[in-house]
Amino acid sequence: MPQQVRGIVAHKKGEPVSLETVIVPDPGPGEAVVQVQACGVCHTDLHYREGGINDEFPFLLGHEAAGIVESVGEGVTDVAPGDFVILNWRAVDGTCRACRRGEPWYCFSTHNAAQKMTLESGQELSPALGIGAFVEKTLVHAGQCTKVNPAVKPEVAGLLGCGVMAGIGAAINTGKVGRGDSIAVIGCGGVGDAAIAGARLAGASTIIAVDVDDRKLAWAKEFGATHTVNSREQDVVEAVQALTDGNGANVVVEAVGRPETYKQAFYARDLAGTVVLVGVPTPEMAVELPLIDVFGRGGSLKSSWYGDCLPSRDFPMLVDLHLQGRLPLEKFVTETIALDGVEAAFEKMHKGDVLRSVVVL
């Protein structure tokens, strides 16, 4: 029978979210109902509320989550009731052209649940990133459930479902940071700090954190930054070059998503170096670069979507590294809150007061 649960809904563009009754249907073929234990408050949820993703209101917000599988539909074999899972928004189909060429992390045909959760009125909800996890229970495609070691705390495990994975993957999967490399990370919020943590895991020897906020630069040091640059006080390109024998960094991760910081990243890299854009720009933004510089500096200009991750491969590995004490996921959690604290968490996030607020149910 369909279940009634509480969830956070955005009804109109720019308006405060509200705590509503949500109707969750029984799982159909290929689907699962998950009891959500924790869900991080991500910038993407705020983008949905502000109408920055699309206008398919009302939205059931939340997507960076972990919990327990309660029930599964026909044909589901990879997860079972009682499994502890991290939810992901890249449930690969295995048959698209990216999957067929052996690159499933680029899957162009990912799965979502076929059924819709609704309000009591019957109005269908649009789940954020196909998940909708600011809710006591959510309906997802079973492929969106990645089973991991249940010894990990839900409030840290869920962060791998989006922001932390995006940052770690930008450094390791997209940027291919390796032992002895130098990396600069521009923008030291949650995603940028995750890129720093990923670079440290990969064995980078010089890890330069760049931000306008000394408080965030201090946080970056906790995740492994060897040097910091306050871009209000120093020229970013000159500072990065000075810290890399005058050459520039092997990899520069841009975690802001603005034209001016992208230009800094472009010129702060070494010749034949790599720029990775993981910050999300708005549609009207544009970058103008001399084409001769694009040609003459060589290297790679890449974007990183979800850290080019493969959840079935990356989530269990990163959870194990955390449990071994090698990946301090707990440092990303600034506060834990109840469901009705999401709107206040958006305000704190906007002010830069937190790395992550996490809803715990």
> Is 321 inside any structural domain?
no
Q: Are residues 147 and 243 in the same domain?
A: no
Q: Give a yes or no: residue 316 inside a domain.
A: no
**Cα-to-chain-centroid distance, residue 32:** 22
In a domain, 315, yes or no: no
Separation of alpha carbons 178 and 171, rounded Å: 9
**Model pLDDT, residue 84:** 98
136 & 17 share domain: yes
| Domain of 282, in residue numbers | 167-305
Based on the domain organization, do 97 and 244 belong to the same domain?
Answer: no
Identify the pLDDT of residue 166. Answer: 97
Are 171 and 84 found together in one domain?
no
Which of 184, 188, 235 lies closest to 208, judged by CA? 184
**Do 138 and 28 reside in the same domain of the chain?**
yes
Which CATH number fits the domain that encloses residue 140?
Answer: 3.90.180.10
Claim to verify: residue 10 and residue 157 sit in the same structural domain: yes
Asked if residue 355 belongs to a domain, the reply is: yes
Number of domains in the chain: 2
Mention every residue, 6+ apart, whose C-beta is less than 8 A from residue 86. Answer: 65, 66, 145, 146, 148, 157, 158, 160, 161, 311, 315, 319
171 and 157: one domain? no
CATH number for the domain harbouring residue 240: 3.40.50.720
Is residue 231 included in any domain, yes or no?
yes
In a domain, 38, yes or no: yes
* pLDDT given for residue 266 in this prediction: 98
H or E segment and range at residue 159: none
Q: Are residues 219 and 183 in the same domain?
A: yes
Residue-level pLDDT, tens digit, the chain, 361 residues:
999 999 999 999 999 999 999 999 999 999 999 999 999 999 999 999 999 889 999 999 999 999 999 999 999 999 999 999 999 998 999 999 999 999 999 998 988 999 999 999 999 999 999 999 999 999 999 999 999 999 999 999 999 999 999 999 999 999 999 999 999 999 999 999 999 999 999 999 999 999 999 999 999 999 999 999 999 999 999 999 999 999 999 999 999 999 999 999 999 999 999 999 999 898 899 999 999 999 999 999 999 999 999 999 999 999 999 999 999 999 999 999 999 999 999 999 988 899 999 999 9
Q: Determine the Cα–Cα distance for residues 177 and 358; give it in Å rounded to an integer.
A: 29
**Residue 333 and residue 284 share a domain:** no
- Specify whether the backbone of 196 is left (phi greater than 0), alpha (psi in -120 to 50) or beta: alpha
- Do 155 and 180 lie in a common domain? no
- How many Å apart are CA 36 and CA 18, to the nearest integer? 18
Please tell me whether residues 78 and 146 are part of one structural domain.
yes
Q: Are residues 29 and 140 both part of a single domain?
A: yes
Is 54 a domain residue?
A: yes
User: For residue 344, is it within any domain?
Assistant: yes
